[in-house]
Amino acid sequence: MKEVSTSGIGMTSARTRARMVERLRAAGVQDPIVLAAMNAVPRHIFVDEAIASRAYEDSALPIGSGQTISAPYTVARMVELLRAGKKLGKVLEVGTGCGYQATVLSRIAREVYSVERIGQLLEKTRARLWPLKIRNLRLKHTDGSLGLPEAAPYDGIIVAAAATSIPPALLDQLAPGGRLVIPVGVQEQQLVVVERHEEGFTETVMEPARFVPLLEDMA
Protein backbone atom coordinates (compact mmCIF):
# COMPACT_ATOMS: atom_id res chain seq x y z
CA MET A 1 0.00 0.00 0.00
CA LYS A 2 1.19 3.48 -0.79
CA GLU A 3 2.05 5.85 2.02
CA VAL A 4 -1.00 7.88 2.96
CA SER A 5 -0.77 11.61 2.36
CA THR A 6 0.20 13.54 5.47
CA SER A 7 -0.73 16.97 4.19
CA GLY A 8 -3.39 19.09 5.82
CA ILE A 9 -1.82 20.39 9.01
CA GLY A 10 1.24 22.43 9.71
CA MET A 11 3.45 19.89 11.42
CA THR A 12 5.74 17.06 10.43
CA SER A 13 3.32 14.19 10.73
CA ALA A 14 5.95 11.46 10.31
CA ARG A 15 7.99 12.82 13.22
CA THR A 16 4.88 13.27 15.34
CA ARG A 17 3.75 9.71 14.60
CA ALA A 18 7.20 8.41 15.52
CA ARG A 19 6.90 10.08 18.92
CA MET A 20 3.43 8.57 19.34
CA VAL A 21 4.81 5.12 18.57
CA GLU A 22 7.56 5.55 21.17
CA ARG A 23 4.90 6.42 23.75
CA LEU A 24 2.94 3.31 22.76
CA ARG A 25 6.04 1.17 23.17
CA ALA A 26 6.73 2.71 26.57
CA ALA A 27 3.11 2.01 27.56
CA GLY A 28 3.60 -1.69 26.84
CA VAL A 29 2.63 -2.26 23.20
CA GLN A 30 5.40 -4.50 21.88
CA ASP A 31 4.15 -6.06 18.62
CA PRO A 32 6.43 -4.62 15.90
CA ILE A 33 3.83 -5.22 13.18
CA VAL A 34 1.22 -3.23 15.09
CA LEU A 35 3.66 -0.44 15.90
CA ALA A 36 4.68 -0.23 12.24
CA ALA A 37 1.04 0.08 11.19
CA MET A 38 0.42 2.80 13.78
CA ASN A 39 3.49 4.62 12.49
CA ALA A 40 2.28 4.39 8.88
CA VAL A 41 -1.24 5.78 9.29
CA PRO A 42 -1.58 9.57 9.79
CA ARG A 43 -4.22 9.89 12.51
CA HIS A 44 -4.82 13.59 11.89
CA ILE A 45 -6.66 13.00 8.60
CA PHE A 46 -9.35 11.04 10.47
CA VAL A 47 -10.47 13.94 12.68
CA ASP A 48 -11.91 17.34 11.85
CA GLU A 49 -9.33 19.95 10.93
CA ALA A 50 -10.29 22.06 13.96
CA ILE A 51 -8.90 19.41 16.32
CA ALA A 52 -6.20 17.94 14.04
CA SER A 53 -3.48 19.42 16.24
CA ARG A 54 -4.66 17.06 19.02
CA ALA A 55 -4.67 13.97 16.81
CA TYR A 56 -1.53 12.41 18.30
CA GLU A 57 -2.48 12.90 21.92
CA ASP A 58 -3.29 9.65 23.70
CA SER A 59 -6.95 10.50 24.10
CA ALA A 60 -10.27 9.78 22.42
CA LEU A 61 -11.59 12.62 20.27
CA PRO A 62 -15.10 13.42 18.98
CA ILE A 63 -15.89 12.52 15.36
CA GLY A 64 -19.56 13.53 15.26
CA SER A 65 -22.82 11.58 15.65
CA GLY A 66 -22.00 11.09 19.33
CA GLN A 67 -19.04 8.86 18.47
CA THR A 68 -15.29 9.09 19.14
CA ILE A 69 -12.01 8.00 17.62
CA SER A 70 -10.31 5.76 20.19
CA ALA A 71 -7.06 6.84 21.80
CA PRO A 72 -3.94 5.55 19.99
CA TYR A 73 -3.04 3.24 22.90
CA THR A 74 -6.52 1.69 22.81
CA VAL A 75 -6.31 1.01 19.08
CA ALA A 76 -2.79 -0.40 19.29
CA ARG A 77 -3.56 -2.55 22.33
CA MET A 78 -6.74 -4.04 20.85
CA VAL A 79 -5.07 -4.80 17.53
CA GLU A 80 -2.10 -6.34 19.35
CA LEU A 81 -4.49 -8.58 21.32
CA LEU A 82 -6.31 -9.51 18.12
CA ARG A 83 -3.11 -10.43 16.30
CA ALA A 84 -1.51 -12.28 19.21
CA GLY A 85 1.69 -12.62 17.19
CA LYS A 86 -0.04 -14.43 14.31
CA LYS A 87 -0.81 -13.46 10.72
CA LEU A 88 -4.39 -12.29 10.27
CA GLY A 89 -6.41 -13.39 7.27
CA LYS A 90 -9.99 -12.11 7.34
CA VAL A 91 -10.96 -9.62 10.04
CA LEU A 92 -14.27 -8.00 11.00
CA GLU A 93 -14.38 -4.62 12.71
CA VAL A 94 -17.63 -3.63 14.41
CA GLY A 95 -17.89 0.15 14.58
CA THR A 96 -16.15 1.79 11.61
CA GLY A 97 -16.42 5.27 13.09
CA CYS A 98 -14.01 7.59 11.27
CA GLY A 99 -12.13 4.67 9.67
CA TYR A 100 -8.84 5.04 11.54
CA GLN A 101 -8.73 1.61 13.18
CA ALA A 102 -9.95 -0.01 9.96
CA THR A 103 -7.08 1.62 8.10
CA VAL A 104 -4.58 0.36 10.69
CA LEU A 105 -6.08 -3.13 10.38
CA SER A 106 -5.82 -2.97 6.58
CA ARG A 107 -2.04 -2.85 6.92
CA ILE A 108 -2.01 -5.98 9.08
CA ALA A 109 -4.78 -8.30 7.85
CA ARG A 110 -5.31 -9.77 4.38
CA GLU A 111 -8.97 -8.72 4.29
CA VAL A 112 -10.85 -6.27 6.50
CA TYR A 113 -14.62 -5.90 6.71
CA SER A 114 -15.90 -2.99 8.77
CA VAL A 115 -19.53 -2.32 9.70
CA GLU A 116 -21.14 0.86 11.02
CA ARG A 117 -24.73 1.41 12.16
CA ILE A 118 -24.81 5.22 11.62
CA GLY A 119 -25.32 5.85 7.92
CA GLN A 120 -24.37 9.54 7.94
CA LEU A 121 -21.10 8.81 9.72
CA LEU A 122 -20.29 5.96 7.34
CA GLU A 123 -20.83 8.12 4.25
CA LYS A 124 -18.47 10.73 5.66
CA THR A 125 -15.92 8.01 6.31
CA ARG A 126 -16.29 6.56 2.81
CA ALA A 127 -15.47 9.97 1.37
CA ARG A 128 -12.42 10.24 3.62
CA LEU A 129 -11.12 6.79 2.74
CA TRP A 130 -11.78 6.94 -1.00
CA PRO A 131 -8.55 8.85 -1.88
CA LEU A 132 -6.49 6.34 0.14
CA LYS A 133 -7.43 3.51 -2.26
CA ILE A 134 -7.33 0.78 0.38
CA ARG A 135 -8.09 -2.28 -1.71
CA ASN A 136 -8.45 -4.85 1.08
CA LEU A 137 -11.04 -2.89 3.10
CA ARG A 138 -14.82 -3.17 2.64
CA LEU A 139 -17.37 -1.07 4.51
CA LYS A 140 -21.05 -1.79 5.14
CA HIS A 141 -23.94 0.04 6.80
CA THR A 142 -25.54 -2.50 9.10
CA ASP A 143 -26.28 -3.44 12.73
CA GLY A 144 -22.85 -4.35 14.10
CA SER A 145 -24.26 -6.51 16.89
CA LEU A 146 -25.29 -8.94 14.14
CA GLY A 147 -21.78 -9.01 12.64
CA LEU A 148 -21.54 -9.64 8.91
CA PRO A 149 -22.51 -13.28 8.33
CA GLU A 150 -22.15 -13.20 4.54
CA ALA A 151 -18.36 -12.85 4.83
CA ALA A 152 -17.87 -15.12 7.87
CA PRO A 153 -15.98 -16.89 9.32
CA TYR A 154 -13.36 -14.43 10.57
CA ASP A 155 -9.90 -15.04 11.99
CA GLY A 156 -10.43 -12.00 14.16
CA ILE A 157 -13.28 -9.74 15.24
CA ILE A 158 -12.63 -6.41 16.94
CA VAL A 159 -15.43 -4.35 18.46
CA ALA A 160 -15.05 -0.60 18.97
CA ALA A 161 -18.03 -0.18 21.30
CA ALA A 162 -18.95 -1.66 24.68
CA ALA A 163 -21.49 -4.47 24.80
CA THR A 164 -23.53 -5.32 27.88
CA SER A 165 -22.79 -8.96 27.01
CA ILE A 166 -20.98 -10.67 24.16
CA PRO A 167 -23.28 -10.86 21.09
CA PRO A 168 -23.89 -14.53 20.15
CA ALA A 169 -23.77 -13.65 16.43
CA LEU A 170 -20.15 -12.57 16.76
CA LEU A 171 -19.21 -15.83 18.45
CA ASP A 172 -20.92 -17.78 15.69
CA GLN A 173 -18.93 -15.91 13.03
CA LEU A 174 -15.55 -16.53 14.65
CA ALA A 175 -13.41 -19.14 12.89
CA PRO A 176 -11.83 -21.99 14.87
CA GLY A 177 -8.64 -20.60 16.39
CA GLY A 178 -9.97 -17.07 15.93
CA ARG A 179 -10.08 -14.24 18.44
CA LEU A 180 -12.72 -11.70 19.42
CA VAL A 181 -11.58 -8.54 21.21
CA ILE A 182 -14.47 -6.63 22.76
CA PRO A 183 -15.12 -4.21 25.63
CA VAL A 184 -17.88 -5.50 27.91
CA GLY A 185 -19.78 -3.68 30.64
CA VAL A 186 -21.91 -0.63 31.34
CA GLN A 187 -20.65 1.53 34.21
CA GLU A 188 -17.40 -0.42 34.51
CA GLN A 189 -16.10 -1.85 31.26
CA GLN A 190 -13.43 -4.50 30.75
CA LEU A 191 -11.55 -5.45 27.61
CA VAL A 192 -12.25 -9.14 26.97
CA VAL A 193 -10.52 -11.57 24.61
CA VAL A 194 -12.57 -14.56 23.46
CA GLU A 195 -10.81 -17.45 21.70
CA ARG A 196 -12.62 -20.16 19.79
CA HIS A 197 -11.36 -23.72 20.19
CA GLU A 198 -12.67 -27.05 18.93
CA GLU A 199 -14.22 -27.67 22.33
CA GLY A 200 -15.76 -24.21 22.72
CA PHE A 201 -14.79 -20.71 23.80
CA THR A 202 -12.48 -19.27 26.43
CA GLU A 203 -12.77 -15.73 27.79
CA THR A 204 -9.94 -13.70 29.29
CA VAL A 205 -10.47 -10.34 30.96
CA MET A 206 -7.51 -8.12 30.11
CA GLU A 207 -7.86 -4.58 31.50
CA PRO A 208 -10.32 -1.72 32.12
CA ALA A 209 -11.78 0.00 29.06
CA ARG A 210 -13.93 2.99 28.19
CA PHE A 211 -16.06 3.02 25.04
CA VAL A 212 -19.35 4.34 23.73
CA PRO A 213 -22.11 1.68 24.02
CA LEU A 214 -22.72 -0.92 21.34
CA LEU A 215 -26.24 -0.20 20.10
CA GLU A 216 -28.52 -2.38 18.01
CA ASP A 217 -30.42 -1.42 14.87
CA MET A 218 -29.35 1.12 12.23
CA ALA A 219 -29.45 4.90 12.16
Mean pLDDT of all residues in 158-179? 96
Q: How confident is the model at residue 211 (pLDDT cuts 50, 70, 90)?
A: very high
51 to 47, 86, 106, 179: CA distances (angstroms): 7, 35, 25, 34
Give the per-residue pLDDT at 9. 43
Give the per-residue pLDDT at 4. 45
- Whole-number percent of the chain with pLDDT over 70: 95
- Whole-number percent of the chain with pLDDT over 90: 83
Domain 13-209, CATH: 3.40.50.150
- Model pTM greater than 0.75? yes
Average confidence score pLDDT of the chain = 92
**Buried (b) or exposed (e) across 150-162, using 16+ Cβ within 10 A?**
eebbbbbbbbbbb
pLDDT digits (tens, 9 = 90+) for 68-117: 999 999 999 999 999 999 999 999 999 999 999 999 999 999 999 999 99
Q: Is 150 left (phi over 0), alpha (psi -120 to 50) or beta?
A: alpha
Choice among 3-12, 126-135, 182-191 with the minimum mean pLDDT = 3-12
Contact 68, 96 (CB under 8 A): no
pLDDT digits (tens, 9 = 90+) for 6-57: 444 445 588 999 999 999 999 999 999 999 999 999 999 999 888 988 999 9
Active site (annotated) includes residue 70? yes
Give the per-residue pLDDT at 10. 40
Half-sphere exposure of 206 (CA within 13 A, CB side): 19
Give the per-residue pLDDT at 3. 42
Q: How confident is the model at residue 2 (pLDDT cuts 50, 70, 90)?
A: very low
Cα–Cα distance for residue pair 159/182, rounded to 1 Å: 5
Q: Of 53, 65, 70, 145, which is the active-site residue? A: 70
Pairwise pLDDT comparison (5 vs 46), residue with the higher score:
46
pLDDT digits (tens, 9 = 90+) for 81-94: 999 999 999 999 99
Mean pLDDT of all residues in 126-151? 96
